[in-house]
Amino acid sequence: MEVGLPSLPVSETTTWVAQLIRENRERLGLSQSQLAERLGRTQTSVSLWESGKRTAGLDDLIDLADALGVEVNRFLPPDRAGRPVAALLRATAERLVDHQLYEAVDQLVAEAEVATMPEAQVSVSASAPSHAANELLEKAGAVSPPIDVRKLCVMCGVLVLERSFREALSGLVFAYGDGAVVGINADQHETRRRFTMAHELGHYLLRHHEQASGYEDRFHIDLEERMPPGSDWRAERAANDFAADLLMPRRLMAAAFQTTQNPVQLASRFNVSQVAMGIRLAELGLR
């Protein structure tokens, strides 16, 4: 679902990308409409990219590179060409909300570039959300609530960084080296941060970052009650299902329900929101 965004000052990256799209389109003798058809986008989108009125997102750049027969790195300014992950993340982040959010994500990526990544101790092979969550819980030896989701992230080789983002942004994840980096909005409630952490871990373990036309450093953004341009609703649902199964496992829920049927008490025991607990109880037929 397309998210309406306020206009932003044109950045160097936006100008660079706009020029290269136009030059490479013309090199192939394509009209804007013909390029749009190749991309599965509208002619208006191509026009906005070439005029610099809209920044092409990460998925857009991947598709553009393929359609125009160039490497993705071709769309990066010379001084950024050696850092495709960070540069592409920043280019996409520019259009999310405003420069305040851009700067927050920019800082997150910069910190990830110098941080020590945790070494993965466990791996998950299951592809179904519930199976993947249960496999991780079993390998980690998690036997009682609340589930230590941050510890699970570390065991999976995922670095978690909590930073202040705009309220609309809950979190993001991107593949980095042999692991991944998860950014969490530090200003949100603990239960929301825990669910976001599990959600983004789900994206990584379910290998959604590998479903991007061969570009292995795709990233996912979790926006409150809406999805950013280019998001796959199936991937978002799968990540939500993974998070629910991870934080509120069926076996542990059934055992806890024998002790109390009070949703508020159960939410406190599993350290999740009352809303999340209510939904989970309904899913399990316990309500």
* Number of structural domains in the chain: 3
Cα→Cα distances 34→26, 37, 44, 55, 66, Å: 11, 5, 12, 20, 14
Paired tokens of 265:
């008490």
Task: Give the end of a domain, one of 75, 93, 111.
Answer: 93
* Global pTM exceeds 0.75: no
- Does the residue 49 lie in any domain? yes
Average pLDDT over residues 39-67: 80
Rg (CA), the chain: 21
Burial bucket for residue 87 (CB in 10 Å: 0-12, 13-18, 19+):
buried
* Domain coverage including residue 194: 99-247
Confidence label for 52 from pLDDT (cuts 50, 70 and 90) = confident
Coil/strand/helix, residue 70: coil
Q: If DSSP codes are grouped into helix, strand and coil, which group holds residue 159?
A: strand
Query: Picking from 10-14, 54-58, 154-158, which range would have the lowest pLDDT averaged per residue?
Result: 10-14
Q: How far apart are CA 198 and CA 147, in angstroms?
A: 10
Cα dihedral 86→91→92→96 (10° resolution): 120
* C-alpha of 208 from chain center: 9
pLDDT of residue 105: 63
pLDDT at 196 over 50: yes
Mean of all residue pLDDT scores within the chain: 78
Residue 276 reports pLDDT greater than 70: yes
Which of 93, 124, 143 terminates a domain? The answer is 93
Higher-pLDDT residue of 51, 107: 51
| Domain match, 48 and 180 both | no
Please state, in angstroms and rounded to a whole number, the distance separating the CA atoms of residues 70 and 24: 9
The pLDDT of residue 66: 81
75 or 207: which leads in pLDDT: 207
